[in-house]
Structure 1
Amino acid sequence: MSLSSFSILLLASASPAALAEESRPAAVEATRPSGETETPSADAEDAQDSNTIVVTARRRSENVQDVPVAISAVDSLTLDSQGTYNISALTKLQPTLQFYSQNPRNTFINIRGIGAPFGLTNDGFEQGVGIYIDDVYYNRIASATLDFVDVDQIVTLRGPQGTLYGKNTTAGAINITTRAPSSDFEGKAEVSLGNLSFKQGKASISGPISDTLAARISVTATDRRGTIYNTRTNSYIQSQDSVGLRSSLLWKPSNGLALTLSGDWNVQDPICCAFQYGGYGPTQRAANRQYPALVAAQQAQYPGLLPTNANPFDRTTDVDAQLRARNEHGGLSLRAVWDIDNNNTLTSITAWRYWDWKPANDRDYTIYPVYTKVENPTRQNQYTQEFRFNHDGQGYDLTVGLFGFHQKIRTSGVQSTGLAASKWLLNPTSALSNNPAVLNNVVAINDIRLDNTSVAAYAKLNWEIVDRFTVSPGIRINYDKKDGLYNSVVTGTASNGTRQVVSADPASPSYSDPWTAAQRGVQASQYYAPQLSAWNLSYDLNLRYEVTDDVNVYATYARSFKTAGLNLNGVPADSTGAAIPLYFTIKPEKVDHFEAGVKTQFWDRRATLNVTGFYTKIKDFQASVSNGQGTTVRGYLANADRVSSKGVEADFAIRPSDRFSAYVSGAYTDAKFDSFCDAPPPPELAGGTTLPGVAGNKCAYVGTPSAPGTPGGSSPPVYDASGAPLPGVSKWAFSWGGEANAPSELFGEEGQFYFGYDASSRSRWSSNPSPSIYTWVRGYALHNFRIGFRTDKFDAFLWARNAFDKDYIDLYLAGTGGNTGLIAAQVGDPQTFGGTIKFNF
């Protein structure tokens, strides 16, 4: 239950509402999605005391301490007070939630180390962590990078979800609820200013239009100067620039019927995103093809032009290509809730969403014009329809649902090389490497398409067999159909000065041209149109026993799956240059999940302690690999044989009085490849002469690899990562904090002075698909403070985040530019500080 209770305990002392309602100082009732009018269950009604929280995570209102699922609930007041205005910052509150973002499209969210293949964007696979806003499923993880708009609550469910939620997910679900239109006029406004020219404004207004119609409109805007200075362009990058708008109409034509029409529009348009120099790690490439030698060789063409950033914490870079990360999404939804009678409710959610991604990147990560343009603009349209029926019976309740999903993605990418490409990408022993014209203006035009349809039926039963003992079985049947296209047409200048298609097919007219042959070693044209369709069955069983009113124990088993996927970024080719069909599709993941926990409250419910143990094993885990063909390493997805994630999560919260609250949450997570003998070699073992494989044995090869980092050495074709940790997950992660307040008066207004402290830490973790000696991110701890004064209508406070200005790395990238040894780094935010003023009316 990670943060469910301690977040609420903390919020009570932070909330202006607590000043006016001391009778329930630690209670914040989770608002139901807009327009939902289901009657709370008996358990929920019994739970309405001063130290409980009611959630609807299982499609019924109930005390969160009774939910036999590991669940975290964070109220809007916690989000606001701690500056958590997107999911990236949410990870500082929830130790088992991992979030990594190279840019909005290249974003990964994992829970307990599983969810999405690390380090690779591919339109053809599914997320393992589902994101829902007001019950609408958001397929594109890019939406997670945008600012929250008028959020009321965020509930994170850990472990497989599918027998209660529209889209099947193997790692968990993040369910975001926005504020519903109100029957009374209300509004709020908030302004924040800080260093780095940080400016943020939020406002919302709501109220009745008639006796049966109410409306709400909300807006948020964030702007911040970049944290990295680009010496090449004399400008700051990694800035923030976002606007969000959300509106909704709630119509209640009768007591039993509520319809909510919602619309939203969100856009980010920062100067972003580039990595910095993070170091050099020798690979197996020839010494004259590694980073130091390549930089020296550029001096013949660009004398005196040397990289200037030797330390990532100098917060400088010198990339020369244009940068852009415009990320826009929006949509409409109609939610209808019909209370047929006191025991039966029918809900319908109809939604359309779009996503528009317009990027520009520098993918050589250097000051030189190696890659002059790397852009993959993408447009998505998504349609969903869900019907859900809830029945409350005597001693049981039942949820039955139908879900339909259709997605259309169109990506029109372009990649081009520049005048520095020949020296950087071609073997220096070739005379062609000294001719900038050979690789200059080699252009790849990519047409990537996906049509994805999914339909499902699910059901969940909660049955109290005997007093205090509840059995909850669930089932889901799912059908998926995917049709894809990958068409990359590469053209370059041949030795006779004409433009030719760069083909890997020996029958191509220009195949033997020396310039075309050199270009083919960098990138060649490729075409294939993969398809798949499949049925899947998943199911789960929850057991809950209420030992006392304040002690619950539970156990869960779930058999789940992640839908099969398509490789839509290019795949290995055969000797004729044709794409190999074996790599077109990725098998579905097959998940067995076990979980047991205890949820307790004691000391008159002033203290809460919850402990969860989990074990998840996955067969055919969808992982990132690379084929090592040519100068540019091509990444794609494949299946690792077996993966597991096991660990323990514990949360403790205490509130001895209305004047003080504290919490601590910790997680131990051991996530690893149990069997993955054909993983991609890490950079220190890649780039050399590849040892021959053994026919019929994907894991065997002939010969002995050279020692790691031996220039000109022998590289294995595969790497046995069995027993190695999964990327992106720390074994240990913690969050802790507290708040103290004292009644006082300021300018004639009665209120509270308060002081809050929150912190998080994590141990080291691997940021390469196969663990590399060069890409272990060191552990770190971050500390945040706030101090202010509040009344029931007004709140003003000063804040400091990363208060001690800790230098830390968000992400390392290795193998850039074809295993040159260059390690690129993404540096975490520096110390930020400022002030916030909020008004309610």
Structure 2
Amino acid sequence: MKKILLVSSALACIASASPAMAQSASTDEAEQDGGLNVIVVTAQRRQESVQDVPIAISAFNAAELETRGVSNALEVTQFVPNLVGLNNTGLGTANSYYLRGIGNTESIATFDPPIGTYVDDIYMSRQNANNLSFFDVDRVEVLRGPQGTLFGRNTTGGAVNVFLKEPGDEFAGYVEAGYGSYERYMVRASVDVPLADTFAVKVSGYFQDDQGYAINTTNGERANQNDGWGVRVGFRGELSDNARWTGSYIRTHADAGNIVNFDCDPANPTNCDGRFVTTGFSKNGNFGGRLTGPKNDFGLGNEVDMNFVSSNLELGFGDLTVNLITGFVDIKQNFALDFADGRGLPNTGNPIPPVAGYTFGGFTISNQGEHTQFTQEIKVTGSLGDGLLDFVGGVYYFHEDNTTDFGDLFTLPFAPAPTGFPIILADRTINNTAEAWAGYVQADVNLSEQLKLTAGIRYTDEKKSFDIRDNRASCNDGSIEASCINTINLTAANGAAIPPNQSVGLWTPRIALNYKASEDFLIFASATRGFKSGGWNARGTSATELLPFGPETAWSYELGAKTEFLDNRVRLNVTAFWLDVSNLQTPSAFIRGNGSIAFITRNFADYRNKGIEVELNTAPVDGLNLFASLGYQDDEYRIDANAPAFDAFGVQSVPAQQAACLGQLAAGLLPNTAGADNASSCGAGIVAPDGSLAEPVRTPDWTISIGGSYDAEMGGGLSLVPSLNANWRSKSEVGTSELTLFDQAVTGPNTGTVYPSNTQGLGSPIVPSSGSFSAARWIVNGSIALKSDTGWSLTAECKNCFDQESVESALANYSYLNPPR
């Protein structure tokens, strides 16, 4: 069995009976002539060639996604410059994107992601289920930089737009089946059914199941599986000469985890053949009545069910086109996740906590969430003045309701196993809503055949509400004590009232100038504003920690060129950018004195990033396609040295914290230790252990992606298509405070305590699996496919072929690794 698994790790064989990928409006005659295909995108809310859009955009049609082995939204991030993608800690169904340094790893509903995810123009506000499996995709567009004018709020970093295939005109379909590592089975299928000359339906689905790539050496279970299924029914109706309707219903179920795991077995450090977990919290476990409601009975795992409905009615009125775009998304998520591997959390005094296998986990969050949203947009596009002015405009409405019932359980370190001494840090239910209205317009003024001026503006009016109640019996017996986590107790530690409502009205303009020197050469310059909504620090475990944070706003300035040459066989796009963000929302987690995790998010600082992005595609000879992309960025936090020492809620400002940290270091105190030895202002928030401003997270200086494929004709209607790609990231930090434990002991100046490790960079090896430092790494993927012109193919592929390990995230000093080969 072990030999079989090793073989299937390198060659995940997929037997397929599929036609060539339909590309609908994504290609034109250029591909048939042997050059590069032309991808039609809607980055400006109307159809245009990607080479004519004055926006930094990476676009992939279905054929390109297939060639590069992309099967879900997260895998796209490997091919986009200055984009880092990862699963949220614990959650294999949720993607966090960091684009040009802007991102967020929080999935609780009082936070909004700054990289918007859209499916067929429908905004998905929650990260909980955005790791979409690609089983019916026409193209993916990644828009880099703020998109506040045409896409609105929560796009300060950019947007990921997924467009699904429309039903075809003929009865046709495909089936794929596959088997791979960790006993993974996969089936995908789709069929187009024309019901009339003017109406067609597409029915698609997928199913996948595996055993999980990590083994729990405490209870024998496997962890971090990626199971799920989905079905989609798509509709297309040509209702009349000037009326067209498309729509979809999607139902998905995902069971995917990303709990902390290790490359060597913590219970047997000499065993490094695989990935390992040692929590004693099991899949069929429960919390023995310690938590309230259904979440008390959740076992280890994460499950998400989503219903997605979209409708787009397009009406033509001469030179005007009106689209009525309606969306509804309903997400239900249940999870119980141990973030401490059934033991204590690493710290300077105990850098490698011994395996305990606590029954309820080391630090466990159990969560039952329900999230619904409704969107309605009326979009108008058209042309005026005999082509002098092309415009798009409209109005947009968004409403969201969220209910999150969750509890935090912490098992005190060094308590006797297996039960230990579990304490409930909090058990509460949050209800929060968001409602937004927006109006927008953008116009292209065609000053000449070569010169075009683009100007647009959007106004957004947004209101949010926040309500919380403590689920403990003592807080629901007719009285609410001051210790209860309840809306009426929302008061900061300094006595300031915490508002349960927020509202904001913001203008987000855009202006761009592009000059098309020839059909194959476009240069552009632009300035764009975007904003991300405010929210509440809802992971606090006392009412005083539930602090609000305000919106973050961004201005982005770009200068770019889009070029094609050598008879459409080489495409080179280059963009330079300067990004200024005010009031950056920065999440941080730290370990309290009792060993539990505390979470806080504040508008700690401003942020600046500048860099360059290069994308190269070439088809030097028929059948051979090569690509490369390069991203460089240079970023920093920026703070006001004259800011007050404390804000309105009593939170210390970063300059004051830095000054305090430097004073503590000068007095000989040690960061991240305990008691009288501790330099408490160091290694917290965005202040590094040495008192400097921390390096912004997930912004490697360099990102590089290279690869290619070759379609070799073999005769007899057969062709062999090898494909290889690799992506490289330079070193980076993945934790806001730059906390990494180093393997050298230090002695406390006041207590004489010997701490086996330190966070000041003393000693060369880093304590294994503890910290936020992510070393530079290469990830290599490859495949080889035998294809027949009759429609069948056989493919062998590997992802992360050389089993490269990389730190993707960190939480409370534990490192989270990327998936194995």
TM superposition score category, shorter chain reference: 0.7 to 0.9
Bigger Cα displacement from structure 2, 311-320 vs 149-158: 311-320
The question of 1:114 aligning with 2:84 is answered no
- 2:417 and 2:782 map into 1 onto residues whose CA distance is 57
State the partner residue of 2:504. Answer: 534
Matched, 1:828 2:812: no
Return the match for 2:585 from 622, 628, 632: 622
Asked if 2 retains the 8 angstrom alpha-carbon contact of 1:229 and 1:236, the reply is: yes
Alpha carbons 1:527, 1:579 under 8 Å: kept: no
Measure, in 2, the Cα distance between the counterparts of 1:638 and 1:693: 11
Does structure 2 retain, via aligned residues, the 8 Å contact 1:320–1:362?
no
Q: One-letter code of the match for 2:610?
A: K
Residue of structure 2 equivalent to 1:565: 535
8 Å contact kept, 1:491–1:501: no
Partner of 1:293: none
Give 1:830 shift. 2.4
Q: 1:275 aligns with which of 240, 260, 274?
A: 260
Q: 1: distance between equivalents of 2:267 and 2:420?
A: 24
Change (3 A) 1:188 1:314: closer
2:653 and 2:328 mapped to 1: Cα distance?
50
Which string of whole-angstrom CA distances, capped at 9 and with x for unpartnered residues, describes residues 746-797 of structure 1? xxx4132222111111111111112224321111112122222223422222
Matching residue of 1:388: 379
Which string of whole-angstrom CA distances, capped at 9 and with x for unpartnered residues, describes residues 119-140 of structure 1?
x443212221111111111111
Q: Distance in 2 between matches of 1:764 and 1:435?
A: 38
- The sequence identity of aligned pairs, in percent, is 26
Q: Which amino acid aligns with 1:145?
A: N
Aligned: 1:587 with 2:587: no
In 2, distance between residues paired with 1:809 and 1:546?
Answer: 43
CA offsets, 1:465-487, max 9 Å, x none? Answer: 12301010110000111111233
How does 1:289-688 map onto structure 2 within 5 Å? 307-308=267-268, 314-322=274-282, 323-341=300-318, 343-365=319-341, 366=343, 367-369=357-359, 371=362, 374-393=365-384, 394-417=387-410, 421=412, 423=414, 439-440=421-422, 442=424, 444-489=426-471, 504=483, 530-570=500-540, 579=544, 584-626=547-589, 630-631=593-594, 632-675=596-639
Code of the aligned partner of 1:358: N
Task: For residue 694 of structure 1, report the CA deviation from its aligned partner.
Answer: 10
The 1:106–1:610 alpha-carbon spacing in structure 2 relative to 1, beyond 3 Å, is: closer
The 2-side partners of 1:197 and 1:407 are apart by 39
TM-score computed with the length of structure 1 as normaliser: 0.77
Partner of 2:736: 769
Alpha-carbon distance between aligned partners in 2 of 1:661 and 1:696, rounded to the nearest angstrom: 51
Residue 69 of structure 1 corresponds to 55
How many Å separate the matches in 2 of 1:537 and 1:336? 28
Q: Aligned AA for 1:463?
A: V
User: Are residues 132 and 714 of structure 1, via their aligned partners in 2, closer, same or farther at CA, if it must alter by over 3 Å?
Assistant: same
User: 1:17-70 CA deviation, whole Å, 9 max, x = no partner?
Assistant: 59xxxxxxxx966459xxxxxxxxxxx999998543322221222221111111
**CA contact under 8 A between 2:440 and 2:459: conserved in structure 1?**
yes
| Structure-2 residue corresponding to 1:805 | 803
For residues 678 and 225 of structure 1, what CA distance do their matches in structure 2 show? Answer: 55
**Against the structure 1 CA distance between its residues 203 and 807, is the aligned structure 2 distance closer, same or farther, given a 3 Å change threshold?**
same
* 2:581 partner amino acid: I
Partners of 1:542 and 1:556 within 8 A in 2: yes
Letter of the aligned partner of 2:783 in structure 1? R
The correspondence for 1:244, drawn from 213, 221, 230, is 230
Q: Give the RMSD, CA atoms, in angstroms.
A: 3.5
Aligned in 2, Cα 1:165/1:109: closer, same or farther, shift over 3 Å? Answer: same
TM-score by length of 2: 0.79
CA distance in 2, matches of 1:306, 1:656: 51
Conserved in 1, the CA contact under 8 Å of 2:398 and 2:436? yes
Higher mean alpha-carbon deviation, 399-408 vs 73-82, is at 73-82
Matched letter for residue 615 of structure 1: W
Structure 1, residues 697-741: CA drift from partner, whole Å, max 9, x if none? 565438423244656522233654665321122111111111223
5+ residue gaps, structure 1: 1-14, 19-26, 33-43, 280-304, 425-433, 493-499, 506-525, 680-691, 816-822, 832-841
Q: How many residues align?
A: 704
Gaps in structure 2 of 5+ consecutive residues: 1-17, 283-299, 344-356, 485-495, 644-650, 741-770
Cα separation, partners in 2 of 1:128 and 1:555, compared to 1, 3 Å = same
Distance between the aligned counterparts of 1:130 and 1:559, measured in 2?
Answer: 15
Q: How does 1:811-822 map to 2 (within 5 A)?
A: 811-813=809-811, 815=812
1:161-195, CA deviations, whole angstroms, 9 ceiling, x for partnerless residues? 13222555111111111111122212111112222
Deviations 1:652-693 (A, max 9, x none): 2221221322111111122321228899xxxxxxxxxxxx98
What does the per-residue CA deviation read over 1:785-826, in whole Å, with 9 as the maximum and x for residues that have no partner?
A: 22222234222222122222223333333x3xxxxxxx4232
Q: CA deviation at 1:352?
A: 1.3
Q: Which residue of 2 aligns with 1:94?
A: 80
User: Cα gap change, 1:181/1:789 in structure 2, threshold over 3 Å: closer, same or farther?
Assistant: same
* Cα pair distance change 1:657/1:442, threshold 3 Å: closer
Contact conserved, 2:671 with 2:678, CA < 8 A, in 1? no
Whole-angstrom CA distance in 1 between matches of 2:358 and 2:480: 26
Distance 1:624 1:269 in 2: 26
Deviates more, 1:53-62 or 1:349-358: 53-62
Letter in 2 for 1:724: A
Distance 2:99 2:445 in 1: 29
Corresponding position: 1:758 with 2:725: yes
2:664 pairs with 1:704: yes
Residue deviations 1:518-566 (CA, integer Å, cap 9, x gap): xxxxxxxx99762111111110111100122211111110122212222
Question: Displacement, 1:88?
Answer: 1.5
- SS of the equivalent of 1:142 reads coil
8 Å CA contact 1:728–1:766 kept in 2: the answer is yes
Deviations 1:279-298 (A, max 9, x none): 9xxxxxxxxxxxxxxxxxxx
Equivalent residue number for residue 196 of structure 2 = 210
Which of 39, 55, 58 aligns to 2:44? It is 58
Question: CA, structure 1 residues 759+442, in 2 after alignment: closer, same or farther (shift >3 Å)?
Answer: closer
What do the CA deviations read for 1:591-631 (whole angstroms, capped 9, x no partner)? 11111111111111211111111110111000013576552
1:701 partner amino acid: A
**Structure 2 matches for 1:157-176, cutoff 5 A?**
157-165=143-151, 167-176=153-162
- Render the CA deviation track for 1:356-413: whole Å, top value 9, x for unaligned: 0000111332223464852011001111101100012322211011111111000111
* Residue-by-residue CA offset, 1:287-313 (whole Å, 9 max, x unaligned): xxxxxxxxxxxxxxxxxx984457877
Amino acid at match of 1:589: E
The equivalent position to 2:131 in structure 1, one of 145, 168, 175, is 145
**Does the Cα contact within 8 Å between 2:107 and 2:128 map onto a contact in 1?**
no
